[in-house]
Structure 1
Amino acid sequence: MTITVANSGEVIALSYLVNKAAPENLVYRLFCNNITPAETDTASTFTEAAGGGYASKTLTGANWTITGGNPSTAAYAQQTWTFTGALTTNPTIYGYYATRLTSGDLVLAEPFTSFTPAANGDNIQLTPQITAE
């Protein structure tokens, strides 16, 4: 699947580049509404998973590995969400989205093959990576 960088995410990136905005950690969240992410989305476009032991994950800036090249990448260690049972929202997860920790602004989103956690120990693994050319 392809990551969609929201318009707000593009503005945030440009603001960082010219030192106009202070960086914030990213929070990775799983969404359970069956949508195709678009550049015009906001964080409220997505229905975050709830219940079943789910919790969002904060990815701290110091733990990203940045590699220059063609393309350049920012990579983070694999993240695992382990569930204790079914979700209390829509039971199916369709992808993830990332917001800024303090402001809550949407940065990016990506759909993946849908997954329905049902039993204790069911899990989703994601290795965050952002590529720029």
Structure 2
Amino acid sequence: LSVGPTDRPNAQAFIGWLDTQCRCREPGASSGGCGSLRLITGVDNQWGGHKNPECQVFAGALNHADLTAVVARFGSVAWHNPNAAQLFVMDQEEFFFRVWMIRNGALRQYAPSSPDEEDDEFWPPVGA
């Protein structure tokens, strides 16, 4: 999750929802949350380059989260700066992120919808 500095409280509320209320998609799983995210752009984290990040980035691994619910919740937050809010989602057993952003008041997916990881052409040749 990447947001502008003014949206840190909204990001923390979203993370609280993930931690306590987000549904898991595993059959019989409790509805007591699927995990949380933590800030990775804080002063105690060293990033490459000579400049501090101009955004707040939160990361984590969620446990079998209902990603449809996660994306819907992200889209329903009243972000102070919705154009700066971005949600990066990688599903179980996938090797790519989907990027969700809010543009003109609508939630949109910007990267890729479904690369075919089962296709041999997705993977580089052995020894390459």
- Greater fraction strand: 1
Larger radius of gyration: 2
Same-fold call, TM > 0.5? Answer: no
TM-score normalised according to structure 2 size? 0.28
Q: Which has the higher contact order (CA 8 A, sep 6+)?
A: 1
- Greater fraction helix: 2
